[in-house]
Amino acid sequence: MTSLVLASSSPRRRDLLARIGVVPDRIVSPDIDETPRPRELPRAYALRLAEEKARAVSRAPGEVVLAGDTTIALGRRILPPATSEDVQRELLGLLSGRRHHALSAVCTIAPDGTVRTRLADTIVAFKSLSPAEIQAYVACGEGLGKAGGYAIQGRAEAFVRFIHGSHSGVVGLPLLETRALLAASGISRA
């Protein structure tokens, strides 16, 4: 029987997998350098990180590894995770009143070593945020450590004027693409 290894430290990815009836047999936190390369474009960056995370986890015979990465991009600019409240305020200021892309890449490595990747590109448009709204959101703490400085599954959803694409991808794992990759890799419970 094929077993699944989730290469992620994100509880959101585990929760999203549960929505499609998938429970990983093992969860391993990959340790990779997530620094963008010079002139690296956001789509290539997200796909590279998903694959590097998958490759960073050891596989036993019969195991499928699943990894993902969600990158927030403003044009060609890769926005970092909010590592501090100051960074988070800056990120929310950049996103205020603008459209951005939430690029959610998924990678599987099948038992035979076949690597498969998919990318969900979701357009998210934020309303214009007042300084008070930004400060209140920063103070709640939920966007700290998140790509782009926000968590769409929480209070930041009230900032969204529209979304076109995969809501689950913005949260951290595009379920349509993930289900297809898991099935192609031999995980039939998806």
Helices in the chain by DSSP H: which ranges? Answer: 11-19, 42-55, 85-95, 131-140, 167-171, 175-184
Token code pair at residue 65: 């590894």
Residues designated as active site: 69
Among 150, 99, 143, residue whose Cα is nearest residue 122: 99
Q: What is the 3-state secondary structure (H, E, C) of 128-175?
A: CCCHHHHHHHHHHCCCCCCECCCCCCCHHHHHEEEEECCHHHHHCCCH
CA distance 133 to 136: 5
CA distance 9 to 71: 16
Among 87, 79, 24, residue whose Cα is nearest residue 57: 24
* Secondary structure of residue 91 in the 3-state scheme: helix
Confirm if 100 and 121 have CB atoms less than 8 A apart: no
